[in-house]
Structure 1
């Protein structure tokens, strides 16, 4: 589905931060202890409560996707979002996997 999707993105969950490195559409590595100078292309930043709502199997209204939360809740999308927009479907699938595996906050 996204064989040209190559980037690094940060999920900032307050106390926990994760950098996911995607190469050619596959997750290459997950950095669960990123340092301040670790590189990434774009970031999604939100409170721990927002991430917990995202991770519910059936989230409350306005927590069902990144766009709704960025308009009405505390989610911020920062950085070079062009790569995210070019591969939005694949990124959305990866994001929605949080509902199966949970979040570390």
Structure 2
């Protein structure tokens, strides 16, 4: 089992989760993070750290649609091991539903 980042992260990208991950399994895109499910050790420390409530275990139905996206983009986006600066408008996007259409496949900057 692993944890999955879902659409709640889009345009928020707070990165609090990155700080607590013991195995550095987060990867950064232009407007969200993903977890490499093959590197995740299922410790769960990232889930409660996410202010956007974007991280779920892969057994949760809310993670299903995002599992493959986490796997594929973690293979091409850069690894991130330190918390960066969240977007200036992250708080405005935090609780907005239906952000999947805003997903960017472009890599971010670690």
Q: Structure 2 length normalisation: TM-score?
A: 0.32
- Between Structure 1 and Structure 2, the one with more strand by share is 1
Greater C-alpha Rg: 1
Q: Structure 1 length normalisation: TM-score?
A: 0.33
